[in-house]
Amino acid sequence: MNRKQLLNGNEAIAWGAAAAGVNYFSHYPGSPVNFVEPSLKKIAQEYHLDIKFNDAINEHIASLGAAGASYCGARSMVVMKHVGLNIAADPLNYIGYTGVKGGMVIVVGTDPGANSSTGEEDVHWYVPQFNFPLFEPTSISEIFEFTQKAFELSEEFQIPVLLFIPGRICHNSDMISLPELSKNDLAKVFEFEQDKDRYINVGKRAVTNHRKLVEKINHIGSKNKYYQNYFNNQAKTGIVTRGITFGHAYESILQLNLSEKLDLLHAEMIYPLGKEKILEFSKGKEELIFIEDQDGFLEYLVKMNCFNEIEARVEGKSVFPAYGEITFDQVYQFLAHKFQINVDSTTAPIFEVPERLGTFCEGCPHTASYFAIDRVMKPIQGITGGDIGCSSLPPFRADWLLCMNSGIGISLGISQVSNQPLVSTGGDGSFFHAGILAILNAVQNKINIIHIVFDNRTIAMTGHQLSPSTSINYHILLKSIGVDRVIETYAFKSEQLQKTIEEEMDKDGVRVIWVKGNCAMMPDEVMQERRKTLTPKIDSTKCADCRLCYEKLACPAINLNESTGGFYIESDSCMRCGVCFEICPNEAITVYKNEER
């Protein structure tokens, strides 16, 4: 019997996979799809489903794992964020050649507007390269429904199927009627059958398999009826949408009373193009307006595939920008202006409010680490290579912010051409993702580099997934690949880290400083005990207003009392990491046992 439950986008993906009988799940966590895995794990536990999970160390491995399971006939899902598709592109380019057996669904969380990413690259351009069908659901119920359809389509045509879901829809919520799940079929045997024609792709065989893929995708395109029509199909102006702009267009048309004047076509399967449907829609139209985020992929597809077959004037990226999210207001104002409807124009806010840039949490080990790094590097105008993840909050602590392992990667290049003092940084997540390969690269090429690994024992920013640092002896690992020196320090002993960096600056070779300190959201027992028993306080009679704790350490628990001009520690949020106590040059921070106060 069905029951109703409130689901967000991540949960809807998980439920769709479970309802489709997924057997294998792999991922690399990344917003906005970082909660699919815990959601699916919860469902698997509750319903006793036999699903194999692979918390992969990067998207390349995650994709290959899903392919392997699928080759054995298992239904597999792999999930990543949009930038992860860059890492997964190598294997995904060739999985189309081999085809799949069990359905394989690739879920990609996109981020127009870069709300939780370092960029908003449009990954649609990978799709014709991979030649996989692509669905873009626009609501929670569509996510649930299309995830299941994707598995069916994948198995029918033995081809992986893509689902792109933007952050805005991943963070939607709606009540969904859910089926009862029965235990999945444990009796089914998954086996890899050897087939050299299929799996050995080189030379003529590769070209043959490529041809088969192209024929397959063209056939799917000829059957693509995944389009929905709304309003007046006799109207002279047609609006075409994909993804989240559908809702903006639909409601704008209602609010502006344009339902007689417009015909709205919403594309659910974006690739391969359903040319027949597009041509049918465009018949009799004087203009087609494409409203879609980012680069205008659908507009491009239509122009390329229907060249000279559409009489209507086509617009899209000539009127909507290729950057940022296209908002409801942009679509509304565009249609109002087009049909000369008088509406209130958007007014600027009366009071400006500065953006809240990211910051470390109270008790974050990175706060202390960067304090130490700054104390060494800033006086000598040194360079600090930055990576992504929690260590990149706030964004101005390092000298660049690009992508995973850009800390060490870019630093290697700088080291080889410049003599400037330099340290590279990155989290333990980045280290295991691909950073270790960069270190190996430094060793092989004899590059002088100091790399600092912030090991907070978790992949924190994306939801606190377990870090391999909790189970791997990184010291042995690093020494075995030829790292010259591996030095372990404790993040919350800031002076120790500072001294270590200073000492290592004078040496040569590949040096890794492994800085340990638990994430503030997962404090160790020592800090938990301190939090219960101790309270720090700033003694205003001793405080010399040096602002070291407030501006240089920049702990969010230390605040300025604007009426008195003095500093105080917010006791509720202070994690008792002890760093301010250590660094205060005036001994103005006193720590009380709670019963003493």
Binding positions for other proteins, rule: CB under 8 A:
4, 6, 8, 31, 115-116, 139-142, 168-169, 171-175, 230, 244, 246-248, 250-252, 254-257, 327-329, 332, 342-344, 346-359, 361-362, 390, 393-394, 460-461, 521, 550-551, 554, 556, 559-560, 572
Task: Give the 3-state secondary structure of residue 233.
Answer: coil
The smaller minimum CB distance to other proteins, of residues 33 and 501, is found at 33
Rounded to a whole number of angstroms, the minimum distance from the CB of residue 114 to other proteins is: 10
CA distance 127 to 80: 15
- Beta strand pairing call for 510-516 and 449-455: parallel
Q: Give least dist CB 560 to other proteins, A.
A: 7
Sign of CA dihedral 270, 276, 280, 286: positive
Q: In what order do the strands lie in the sheet with 510-516?
A: 383-385, 422-427, 449-455, 510-516, 485-490
Query: Nearest approach, Cβ of 152 to other proteins (angstroms)?
Result: 22
Min dist CB 535 to other proteins, Å, is 16
Other C-beta atoms closer than 10 Å to the C-beta of 468 total: 18
Nearer to other proteins, 174 or 582 (CB): 174
Burial 527-564 (b: 16+ CB within 10 A, else e): beebbeebbbebeeeebeeeebbbeebbbebbeeeeee
- 3 state DSSP class of 62: helix
The sign one gets for the Cα dihedral 268, 272, 278, 280 is: negative
Q: Determine phi and psi for 6, rounding to 5 degrees.
A: -75, 125
User: Is omega for the bond preceding 137 within 30 degrees of 0, making it cis?
Assistant: no
Q: Closer to other proteins at the Cβ: 4 or 183?
A: 4
Residue placing its CB nearer to other proteins in the complex, 228 or 586: 228
Is the four-CA dihedral 146, 147, 150, 151 of positive or negative sign? Answer: negative
- Give the integer Cα–Cα distance in Å for 393 and 406: 15
Q: Which is nearer to other proteins, 321 or 413 (CB)?
A: 321
* Smallest separation, CB 335 to other proteins (Å): 12
Least spacing, CB of residue 464 vs other proteins, in Å = 9
For residue 212, give the nearest of 228, 201, 223 by alpha carbon.
201
Tokens of 542: 């001793």
Residue 472 or 522 with smaller CB distance to other proteins: 522
Nearest CA to 456 among 357, 573, 375, 575?
575
Which residue lies nearer to other proteins by CB, 130 or 360?
A: 360
Give the H or E element holding residue 44: helix 36-47
Nearest approach, Cβ of residue 229 and other proteins (Å): 12
Find out whether 134 and 270 touch, Cβ atoms under 8 Å: yes
Q: Which is nearer to other proteins, 228 or 473 (CB)?
A: 228
The residue among 401, 388, 479, 465 whose CA lies nearest residue 427 is: 388
Give 192 or 323: the residue with its C-beta nearer to other proteins: 323
Nearest distance in Å: CB 392, other proteins:
8
Residues 110, 123: contact at Cβ < 8 Å?
Answer: yes
Closer CB to other proteins, residue 64 or residue 553?
553
Residue 247 C-beta: closest distance to other proteins, Å = 4
Please name the residue that has the structure tokens 């906005």: 32
- State the minimum distance, in angstroms, from the CB of residue 249 to other proteins: 8
Cβ at position 330, least distance to other proteins in Å? 10
Q: In angstroms, what CA-CA distances link 452 with 162, 372, 577?
A: 37, 12, 20
Residue closer to other proteins, measured from CB, 60 or 168: 168
For residue 299, how far is the Cα from the chain centroid? 26
> Cβ closer to other proteins: 203 or 354?
354
Asked if residues 450 and 411 have their Cβ atoms less than 8 Å apart, the reply is: no
CB of 583 to other proteins, least distance (A): 16
